[in-house]
Structure 1
Amino acid sequence: MPSAIELGAPDRKNGDLTATGDSNELLSLLKDQINNFPPGKQYSIAIKEVPVTVERLPYYPKDGDRLQDPGTARVNIAASNESPNGTIQDNWAEEHKHQTVVQQHVVYWDKDQDGIIWPLDTYRGCRAWGWNPILCLIATFLINVNLSYPTSPSWIPDPFFRIHISNLHKDKHGSDSMAFDNEGRFKPQNFEDLFSKYDRGNKGGLDAYDLIRMHKGQRMAMDFFGWSAAFFEWLATYLLLWPEDGILRKDDVRRIYDGSIFQFKADEYAEKKKHHGGANKTIESRKKQA
């Protein structure tokens, strides 16, 4: 059962509890529980003197949780409490165990498996999702122009803006979820924190309002590149998943991190296009017969 803290934290538009008198009243009512939360542990995850620690409660292990050692980064699986063994669909985790999770994140675009992602690879991969050509060009520009140089094996910038997968960990930036470490491993604790802190109402995912709060909560001082990169990454995630109810499901987001959902979405669009094309042919055939 959720604690009183988890259910009672007010939903503030600016993401800060300190701005209201209601928050001070809440802290007063729950101060004993707050300073000893979670109960039965040797540590606390919130203190009344710093209200933001009450509003954004991190993930903490509970009885019955399937995820073991959440603070330990996984080198080749994107583990969560619901998927402690990573993505097992289509044998993904086993087939990609020779790659770090951050490398798995981009293998969808490396169709020839040469370890290099050209701008054309990026464009084709985005088009396979059914994205508009102009949107694909924008995505290609943002991705390859900004991410090419850190991965380059040379000090000289690559005029073709290729991305080298072997050095992809060097593309890590600030103000993001911190679910990847500096070597490309996946950090389950940080991933779980995203939903523990920002999933208001325990929906099992994040809506647009949650994403705005998350973007604000994860920002680092003076990190203009990180702010922009995180914004476009989550925008692309939303456009790709495009949930009917507006909620990005937790496991879908997890599969974004290990890249396993990208080909799935491409296949889904291809199948949809195939059925749509077949329906059009049937209509045209009936018109001719008439």
Structure 2
Amino acid sequence: MQTCRPPKVPLQTKMAAPSENTLSDTIRHTVPTASNGDVTANPTTRKLYNELGKEINRYPQGKPYNVAIDTVPVTIERMPYVPSEGDKLVDPGTARATIAADNQHPNGTTKDNWAEKHKSKTVVQQHCLYFDQDGDGIIYPHDTFIACRKWGWGIFLSALATFIINFNLSYPTQSGWLPDPFFRIYISNVHKAKHGSDSMSFDNEGRFSPQKYEDIFAKYDKGQKGGLDWTDLLRFHRGQRMAMDFFGWSAVFFEWLAVYLLLWPDDGLLRKEDIRRVFDGSIFEYKAQEHARKTRGS
């Protein structure tokens, strides 16, 4: 795991030398470390901080709010997405019920008319549709297994994925208190399976939040590559963890591991658009068809 190093120069060097009256404040405002934030961790953030200095406390300029303060360096290290003039994405903080929108795709997935075809489903339900192989609104373990096999995953990996998914997500989606002995997942209640320590791109009702999705890349895409590599994912996992949320930590780890195995980028970079299409599920069938084409061509 990449270790964040404390900056060589304390934050206070950008201000005038402390006087006797301000010494206590200076002592209290400690140099950032790996535990409370590192303003040098991301070259984009470091460049912005070097340019603005103390004015970082009033960033973004011209807005009636600020997103960072130098006394809490982690707010500088992990800058949220800040809408710019002329952005295509309108009201990014408002969750969308049926489309996974981002700044590049404000209308969600229009390829193959995906968003229009599935406008009766929330985004989190769309995310699950591929696994419902017979279209009955219920994901049986054998549905999950077949869906994974269609991606070219081996028997062991598909069985492991089936166990993790159905064992953990079945009970929250039940209508009653008793667990389902067949570990079925009901798509109508899949919003109940939301867990903590993730990106929060899905809200508790299954809607998609563009602001939270954009935040992933604003905070963790080191160098603005247009995607996440494995070091970014480790920083994401550490940065999103909630206290004592062991289930959430584990779930996030396995979810993003599965995304990496599914997309398997040659250069190790998970593209922002591919990840967005994972959220609305539109890429799942595409990857199955891609594997089928490769199998026929071999």
TM-score (norm 1): 0.88
Change (3 A) 1:126 1:35: same
Equivalent residue for 1:108?
130
C-alpha deviation, 1:98, in angstroms:
0.1
Alignment of 1:110-149 (within 5 A): 110-149=132-171
Say if 2:288 is the partner of 1:266. yes
Read off the aligned partner of 2:2 and give its amino acid letter: K
C-alpha deviation, 1:275, in angstroms:
0.4
The superposition leaves residues 243-281 of structure 1 with CA deviations (integer Å, 9 ceiling, x where unpaired) of 1111000010000000000000000000000000xxxxx
Match for residue 222 of structure 2 among 200, 222, 232: 200
Match for residue 98 of structure 1 among 101, 120, 128: 120
Change (3 A) 1:23 1:101: farther
Equivalent residue for 1:6?
none
Q: Distance in 2 between matches of 1:167 and 1:197?
A: 31
Read off the aligned partner of 1:13 and give its amino acid letter: Q
Equivalent residue for 1:9?
none
Q: Distance in 1 between matches of 2:102 and 2:7?
A: 34
Say if 2:106 is the partner of 1:84. yes
Q: Distance in 2 between matches of 1:27 and 1:78?
A: 41
Equivalent residue for 2:3?
14
Q: Identical aligned pairs, as a percentage?
A: 62
Equivalent residue for 2:242?
220
Change (3 A) 1:166 1:26: farther
Structure 1, unpaired ranges of 5+:
1-11, 277-290
Change (3 A) 1:34 1:170: same
Equivalent residue for 2:257?
235
C-alpha deviation, 1:23, in angstroms:
5.8
Secondary structure of the 1:159 match is coil
Q: Distance in 2 between matches of 1:234 and 1:38?
A: 31
Read off the aligned partner of 1:100 and give its amino acid letter: T
Secondary structure of the 1:266 match is helix
C-alpha deviation, 1:155, in angstroms:
1.2
Q: Distance in 2 between matches of 1:115 and 1:214?
A: 32
TM-score (norm 2): 0.85
C-alpha deviation, 1:22, in angstroms:
3.7
The superposition leaves residues 28-56 of structure 1 with CA deviations (integer Å, 9 ceiling, x where unpaired) of 65432211111111111100000000000
Equivalent residue for 1:244?
266
Equivalent residue for 2:82?
60
Equivalent residue for 1:187?
209
Q: Distance in 2 between matches of 1:82 and 1:264?
A: 20
Equivalent residue for 1:5?
none
Change (3 A) 1:23 1:14: farther
Structure 2, unpaired ranges of 5+:
16-49
The superposition leaves residues 219-252 of structure 1 with CA deviations (integer Å, 9 ceiling, x where unpaired) of 0000000000000000000000001111000010
Change (3 A) 1:150 1:214: same
C-alpha deviation, 1:25, in angstroms:
6.6
Read off the aligned partner of 2:192 and give its amino acid letter: K
Read off the aligned partner of 1:21 and give its amino acid letter: K
Aligned CA-pair RMSD: 1.5
Match for residue 185 of structure 2 among 138, 150, 163: 163
Q: Distance in 2 between matches of 1:213 and 1:264?
A: 29
Say if 2:61 is the partner of 1:35. no
